Amino acid sequence: MTQNLFLLPGDGIGTEIMAEVEKLIAHLNANGKTDFATDKGLVGGCAYDAHGKAISEEDMEKALLADAVIFGAVGGPKWDNVPYDVRPEAGLLRLRKDLQLFANLRPAICYPALADASALKRELVEGLDILIVRELTGGVYFGEPKEITELGNGQKRAVDTQVYESYEIDRICRVAFDLARTRGKLVHSADKKNVMKSGVLWDEIARQVGKDYADIKFEHILADNAAMQLVRNPKQFDVIVTDNLFGDILSDVAAMLTGSLGMLPSASLGAADPETGKRKAMYEPVHGSAPDIAGKGIANPIAMVASFAMALRYSFNMVELADEVEAAIAGVLNDGLRSADIMQDGCREAGTEEMGAAIIAKLDF
């Protein structure tokens, strides 16, 4: 059965790294491993240039209908001064919101070959395998009111609203506990219940959900302490579940533990359809559009390729194939090939296309 992928490369290095995923898809299709049909759209600054919006209605419709959306990155200095509502990030946020992708999975795995590329000591990160489960459709990102008002005395007042309802906390915690069951059976729930009401509710619901998972160890952690512990001793964690904003920050910290932001993939999942069991899903690297290196052919395609591997795993249940793609990435790193962001002494530097081709060549077919 043909599966439909909607590709949204976006801006900056997004197009370059997506090109490597397209080659990988072509290779998988040609070898009978998959039967993907792809369509491509515009999101972010390029969509603004073409349509005056961060994503067109037509492309939104395609994203809603696709079996999975593969997303590159958005933004760049060219669009720094466009109106707030149509800034590049608005396209990404609209996709998350309209597809109701409430569960953002951000694994941080330290590839053995890269343990020395981390800013932390090798022994702290070697073998690291943690998963940040970030709530993605609520909290301060979307809460209303969200505005800047003139106070009339030359002063302005800015408001963002951190708001969570219990069902939103409940469903993201269940995703975290379910995933912990397939891994290290430990969930840390991070909030700021010492200063925020939303944190108090978060903790209450997280503990309640935890009661349904007697086999999983539950730990509460304050979000600031979680940031500190992530750089002090990251291997104490297995799954961390947290809100939209804390998840944004903690996942950047976790990403850097692995050597480079260019390594970290993510999956954003909606609820399973009660009839078909299918989830809406979007896969994107955690890094941004890196305008400083865009167009130079030196971007690291690994997070993008690994995001596609997550699509194989979570949207299409092609677990073995996902394992093979991930092993190919590890293999290329073991061979000493490095993009500029993770370059180390004694390794050979390769551009985006060479890295992408090497990953494909590592596959057994």
Among 168, 248, 326, 341, binds ligand IPM (CB under 6 A): 248
- Of 255, 279, 280, residue with least CA distance to 114: 255
Q: Buried (b) or exposed (e) across 225-246, using 16+ Cβ within 10 A?
A: ebbebbeeebbebbbbbbbbbb
Ranked by CB distance to ligand IPM, the top (closest) residue is: 89
Q: Which stretch binds Mn ion (CB under 5 A): 99-107, 144-152, 178-186, 242-250?
A: 242-250
92 binds, among Mn ion, ligand IPM, none (CB under 5 to 8 A by kind): ligand IPM
89 binds, among Mn ion, ligand IPM, none (CB under 5 to 8 A by kind): ligand IPM
Per-residue contact string for residues 243-262; x = within reach of Mn ion by CB under 5 A:
-----x--------------
Catalytic residue (one of 111, 248, 314, 341) = 248
Strand ranges across the sheet with 186-191: 36-40, 3-10, 68-73, 279-285, 265-272, 103-109, 129-135, 239-242, 186-191, 217-222
Q: How far apart are CA 117 and CA 119, in angstroms?
A: 7
The DSSP output letter for 86 is G
Among residues 11, 111, 191, 192, the one annotated as catalytic is 192
Instruction: State yes or no: is 248 an active-site residue.
Output: yes
Closest CB 148 distance from ligand IPM, rounded Å: 18
Tell me the closest approach of the beta carbon of residue 93 to Mn ion, in angstroms: 12
For 253-271, letters b (16+ CB in 10 Å) and e give bbbbbbbbbbbbbbbbbbe
Q: Which residue of this chain has its Cβ atom nearest to Mn ion in the complex?
A: 248
The yes-or-no answer on residue 252 being catalytic is yes
Q: How far is the CB of 252 from Mn ion (least distance, A)?
A: 6
From the CB of 92, what's the least distance to ligand IPM, in Å? 6
- Do 87 and 26 meet the contact criterion of CB atoms below 8 Å apart? no
Closest CB to Mn ion among 11 and 248? 248
Residue 255 interaction partner, one of ligand IPM, Mn ion, none, beta carbon < 5-8 Å per kind: none
**Mapping DSSP to helix (H, G, I), strand (E, B) and coil, where does residue 32 land?**
coil
Among 4, 38, 78, 89, binds ligand IPM (CB under 6 A): 89
Q: Does 22 bind ligand IPM (CB under 6 A)?
A: no
Spell out, one character per residue from 190 to 229, where the chain touches Mn ion: x when CB under 5 A holds, - when not: ----------------------------------------
From the CB of 89, what's the least distance to ligand IPM, in Å?
Answer: 4
What is d(CA 139, CA 295) in angstroms, rounded to the nearest whole number? 35
**What is the footprint of ligand IPM within residues 273-332 (CB under 6 A)?**
286
Map tokens 């104490």 to a residue: 236
Residue 11 contacts by C-beta under 8 Å, 6 or more apart in sequence?
A: 44, 45, 46, 72, 73, 74, 75, 76, 79, 88, 289, 291, 294
Give the integer Cα–Cα distance in Å for 338 and 336: 6
Binding residues vs ligand IPM (CB under 6 A): 89, 92, 248, 286
Q: Which residues bind Mn ion (CB under 5 A)?
A: 248
Residues involved in catalysis: 141, 192, 224, 248, 252
